[in-house]
Structure 1
Amino acid sequence: MPAHVLYVGGEDNNLRIPFILAMRRRGYRVTAAGSGDPAPFLSHGIDFVSFPFDRFISPGSDLRALRRLVAILRELQPDIAQGFDTKPCLLVPLASGLSGTGTKAVRTICGRSWVYSSRAPLAVATRPVLQTLHRLAARRTAATVFQIEDDRDFFRRNRIDGRRGVLIPAGGSGVDVKAFERALAELPSREAMRDELGLGDAEVVVTVSRMTRQKGIPTLLKAAAIVHRVRPGVRFVLVGPRESEGPLAVSAAEIEAHSPYVIATGARRDVPALMRMADVFAFPTEYREGVARALLEASLAGLPIVSSAMPGCREVIRDGWNGLLAPPGDPERLADGIIQVLEDPEAARAMAGRADAVAREQFSLEVMADRMAQLYDTILRDREDTMAELPAADEPTA
């Protein structure tokens, strides 16, 4: 019987469908659990279980989520449960220990979240609590997958990495090259997308991100104003959700203050086409995240990239070679990079070509899925060895 793997994430767990399908092609039985819409999973024949939880600090909600996850593990009896993002990476190991199922827990560290990205008093005060929870979770974790070395080093320094820390670039979030190319072929053309948004032949800077402060959107808006003064024909298109982002969301009024040269589309399903219609991809994040899929997809779309020099971004972009990096929170340097790319299209095309090669060779879904399958096999061998050492049900213990 094939090993059963449960993938636990939040409302955006559907973004990992290509990865889940890749693991199914490698012979695993797969199930997804998350707080989002089940329809995308069901349309691909992936079993889905509802797992609501609060992304923000909420002890009462977290306790209910833990109980729910214990119940899910007892019902499904998966061999491996893999969590993505902060809350699932804490809840999956704790639930696996409480469930008594023998399920092996895998944490996938996709960055260090708002707690380590913000200097707000609440974030700073929460850090010791989060480290304590990770230390508890580490005791019940069969393996921890890190997307970037910076996170692995941090977990090691603080002794919260557990018994098996593995670096898999873009682990669980590699870019599906074939699916992206297929989407570009099937979605509306560059001209059609520009007509829809009323962009005409303007130079376009696109950003794909949640519209939150820690993602650097206020910095981007300030940079847009600087670029507008120098090149008034440039338009900025912001793609991503805002209303769902709670107290950290950028307000509609803040974005509206920069119209008509800034357009916010909200969340969209045609991101590849929106990228293809642009001239530059800007990624202003100030968030300690892993390898951002948006950077990889922008590379496949042939866009020159101007990004903040945050961990995760530096793993993809080498400044001046396959993109430009600016200090996080520095709108002047971000604007300078955008203007530089627009003023030197030949150099921009060369950088974009190198970025495309890096995305295909180092961060492709197939390369990452092979690495993950090797890890699963190691974990399952450990599980079999452990089970072999246990006494049979009718065998008396010493």
Structure 2
Amino acid sequence: MEFTDRVSRVEPSATLAISQLASELEAEGADVIDLSVGEPDFPTPENVVSAGKESMDAGDTGYTSSNGISDLREAIATKLRGDGLEYGPENVIVTPGAKQALYETFQTLVQDGDEVVLLDPAWVSYEAMAKLAGGTLSRVDLSAHEFRLEPALDELAETVTDDTELLVVNSPSNPSGAVYSDDALDGVRDLAVEHDITVISDEIYERITYGEEPTPLATLEGMGERTVTVNGFSKAYSMTGWRLGYLAAPEALIDEAGKLHSHSVSCATNFVQHAGCEALENTEDAVEEMVEAFESRRDLLVDLLADHGIDVRAPEGAFYMMVPVSETPSASDASGGEPRADDQSWCEGAIQDAHAATVPGSAFGTPGYARFSYANSEERIREAVDRLAEEGYL
């Protein structure tokens, strides 16, 4: 059996080793505190669950039109128009999760050899999707600027060229939690227009912010015709397992991406789409309650790390922060060998010794850090930091 070149371009995720270690330890009875998780620890709002059940009971269990039911596409378009984007339902494809929306966009826009620019730290699947499409990667490191984009605009200007096909912007960011300023986005706009670059604006965390509201990139002058806005229901409405997302873009791209969509996943799940309508229209209180809890946890984690001499800029959004590990006292491994020097080893050691799971920054293109998720209770966050400190990792 021979495998394709496109599959060989993609390496296994660096997070797999952590997940495997966590599973093995839990099977042995260990109490593992998960600070690696990428989903809210809140239940899906009851009214959304009820809407899904009612839709199933009503018989909404067959195929829908490929791009999505009209009610949901109209609700999404209404939401986007409220954000200042001039989109109608004809500009929307509803997908089984935002990841599928991203995948379809990469496959539609990137050909062999096309340059894709990422802002590091960048979500791990961007790299994989670019490689699967045959693209080549250029990366701009934001870690020296506390993960802010504005101070790195000169570096971005040196990286993009007329040969750049695609730039990916994720604000609020996974994994840093950064929300890019309007000045930073203006800089992106100027470069995109100058070099005729298409931009993916991944806005999956746009509802989870702490005072710094993100500006939708497609609202900026000259960006409507060159931006693909990707969003979904997993994070804001705690609907990760429902698999519901969407992309919004000019009709020409919708027509082309729609071909791939119809020949691959056919459509998003029927009754899930009906639940999505409910989520968009009647969940404001549940979202606000969740965001308030995340903000409290964020502040707690920042303070706990500061108590151990680790200063971390408080993220403006999402529920992650990048914690420097290479500059902290490194613990020796359990066998008494050499001190751990890299972030992958640090994370593996942290879960083995402290039973606290985090994700190595190298998985996101930024070695020397670990991504801490605060999608866990304050009690468990406090306990995880205590364990890490006791074992010499902080």
TM-score, normalization by structure 2: 0.33
Which protein has the bigger helix share? 1
